Amino acid sequence: MRNLLLATITFLSIGQTAFSQDANAILDKVRSQFQTIQDLRCDVEMKFDIPGVAIDQISGKMIYKKPDKFRVKTKGLIFLPKQNPFSQLEILDDPKNYMAVAAGQAKSNGIPCHVINVIPTNNGELVLMKLLVGIQDGRIHESELTLKREGTVQYFNKYASGTDFIPTSMEFKADFKRFKMPKAISGDFNSTPVREEEGQSKYETGRVLMTISNLDINGKIADAEFEEEGS
């Protein structure tokens, strides 16, 4: 599957060297902004819209440290994307890790963007990443990651006015198999069974919205902060 995808994209990319050069140039700009960040700390408010899950919004602290340490500290339970939300940027940190192919332009939330396909060269979890990079601001407004185990997940980033590279809100969106729990395990003997209708998809789309504020970049975060208390 992965090889087929690579072959197709490589084929489509032949003769589009100019586009590739453009793509690399666009990503270089993104990378250069990302390279100024060693760690970050911010307040985060999380909202969840996951079918089959009732969970209130919650606020907490989000911390990130290169190369790949990420944690959201809250007083309660939260749902997070399996992949850390900065993983899309981590790949771009070294140009040897990927091949970039420009795929035209598109709008994300009304903002004109370059569409760039990123094909990792290593054999990692990521199969393909599609980025929508703002033509004007050079920031990632949308990304779509195709992952080996998790399928396709998307991020929609929003930025406050200004030039901050880190978005003020990140919306994570992914499809997952509808949650089903046998009564014997859940102990929920009184629920009326929801019968699946014919032709109904077995998948649902879930969203996690992270609104970021009080951003503190390169404030030097100790590794210990990423450890779970008591672990």
| Chain residues that interact with another protein, rule: CB under 8 A | 50-56, 58, 72, 74-82, 149-151, 153, 174-177, 179-183, 185-191, 193-194, 206, 208
The residue among 205, 211, 226, 166 whose CA lies nearest residue 58 is 211
Q: b or e along 60-76 (b: 16 or more beta carbons within 10 Å of the residue's beta carbon)?
A: bebbbbeeebbbbeeee
We find the least distance from the C-beta atom of residue 154 to another protein, in angstroms, to be 11
Paired tokens of 100? 């970039």
Considering beta carbons, is residue 9 or 58 the nearer one to another protein? Answer: 58
Q: Which residue has the tokens 């879930």?
A: 206
Considering beta carbons, is residue 115 or 153 the nearer one to another protein? Answer: 153
We find the least distance from the C-beta atom of residue 5 to another protein, in angstroms, to be 20
We find the least distance from the C-beta atom of residue 181 to another protein, in angstroms, to be 5
Using the 8-state DSSP alphabet, how is residue 124 labeled? Answer: S
The residue among 116, 111, 109, 70 whose CA lies nearest residue 92 is 116
CA distance 144 to 130: 5
Judge contact between 42 and 60, C-beta under 8 A.
Answer: no
Considering beta carbons, is residue 24 or 83 the nearer one to another protein? Answer: 83
Paired tokens of 56? 């209130």
Considering beta carbons, is residue 107 or 183 the nearer one to another protein? Answer: 183
We find the least distance from the C-beta atom of residue 75 to another protein, in angstroms, to be 7
We find the least distance from the C-beta atom of residue 130 to another protein, in angstroms, to be 17
Considering beta carbons, is residue 29 or 71 the nearer one to another protein? Answer: 71
Sheet holding 69-73, edge to edge: 69-73, 58-65, 39-49, 203-217, 169-177, 151-158, 140-147, 126-134, 111-120, 98-108
We find the least distance from the C-beta atom of residue 179 to another protein, in angstroms, to be 5
Considering beta carbons, is residue 102 or 208 the nearer one to another protein? Answer: 208
